[in-house]
Amino acid sequence: MSGPAKRLLLVALGLAALGAAFFVWRGRQERLDALQLAETQQFDAAESILKKVHERDPNDVEVVTALAQGFLASGKNADAERMLARWIALRPNEVEPLKLRLKFLRVHERHAEAAADADRILALNPKDEEVRGRLPGLLFSAGRFEEAENACRQALAKTPKATSLLQLLSQIRRARGDPLEAAVILDELLKSHPRLYAALLARAILHFEADQSDKAIPLFRKVLAEDPTRQRTSRYHLSLALARVGQTEEAQRLMAEVRKMQDAEVLLADSRTAGDNHDLQARAAGALLDIGETEKAVRLLDKVLAANPKHAPSHRLLARHFKSQGLPERAAHHSRLAGDAP
């Protein structure tokens, strides 16, 4: 090869090396920029680049971490779960990805998998009291009753007056076929916490299951009268207890109210994913008004009218609501906007 040809070859090789180095540098810079965007909570801007970097190097744990956290924050559940699994595979002895997945599984009520992750976390870090405190409930929800009881009693040895653990222990004993001990635990708990409505409801259910409706009914009525968070559940159980003792008229009325509440919950859930279906949202609000959930109903109607100020069904519902509240001027205002009054 002549001298000029050699020089040309060397120049070509040098240029190729420079080009390769540039692409490597650009890839690294792209990666760093995407990680910085993700770190500053700009995941939408970083997502496509991070995915590209991940395809080039599936073992880049920083990129996997950023993708997992970004997908979790943006509600992309399938992608989040896939990246969490990859992160855990790359760092099997780290607690952080396991704790993130534990939280994810708990939110999605996948109790058996959550309990397994809790076990792994505690094997790595036996001093993690937060996870240890959640373990009895996770084991119970996963149907691992014997393990749940052991974990619950260990926790109670440290905090013997913890009401949540005592209620859980009662549930466990009931699930394990010992309603008598379950009842004793609740009776002791209710002596010091007579307005602990979850325990009161559980005690009433135990009375009902023991064919003691005469004792169950007053407790169901107390929960229904005093606890706004257990209206549907207490109505349902009270209806069953009343039917058992022959008070069928009140039992049927309560069960009809339960069905209305169920229908309202279904409509409300549908309305949350209905986009701009304002008619469906108004129907959900009307169902909420029918069961006395006025604050939720008014908030939903206000939301509809913010998007569609001339939506007549929403105005009619607000007119009805304000009339029932003794506010005739506001009722008339919404009737006019609905086109029902001059």
More confident residue, 31 or 195: 195
Question: Is position 325 within any domain?
Answer: yes
Residue type, 280: L
Task: Decide if 294 contacts 321 (C-beta within 8 A).
Answer: yes
Segment 50-101, tens digit of pLDDT? 898 888 889 999 999 999 999 999 899 999 999 999 999 999 999 999 999 9
Segment 269-327, tens digit of pLDDT? 888 877 788 888 888 888 888 888 888 888 988 988 898 888 888 888 888 888 888 88
pLDDT at 1: 55
Average pLDDT of the chain is 88
CATH number, residue 323: 1.25.40.10
Cα distance between residue 227 and residue 220, in whole Å: 10
With tokens 């001990």, the residue in question is 181
What phi, psi does 61 have (nearest 5°)? -70, -30
Q: Is the pTM of this model over 0.95?
A: no
Segment 186-208, tens digit of pLDDT? 999 999 999 999 999 999 999 99
Task: Decide if 314 contacts 278 (C-beta within 8 A).
Answer: yes
Task: Decide if 238 contacts 200 (C-beta within 8 A).
Answer: no
Question: Is position 174 within any domain?
Answer: no
Question: Is position 331 within any domain?
Answer: yes
Question: Is position 141 within any domain?
Answer: no
User: What mean pLDDT comes out for the span 102-127?
Assistant: 94
Using the predicted structure, report yes or no on whether residue 242 has a pLDDT greater than 50.
yes
Question: Is position 124 within any domain?
Answer: no
Domain count, the chain: 1
Question: Is position 294 within any domain?
Answer: yes
Question: Is position 190 within any domain?
Answer: no
The alpha carbon of residue 302 and the mean position of all alpha carbons in its chain are separated, in whole angstroms, by 25
Instruction: Kindly tell me the burial class for residue 239, based on how many C-beta atoms sit within 10 Å of its own C-beta (0-12, 13-18, 19 or more).
Output: buried
Task: Decide if 199 contacts 188 (C-beta within 8 A).
Answer: no
Question: Is position 278 within any domain?
Answer: yes
326: domain range? 273-342
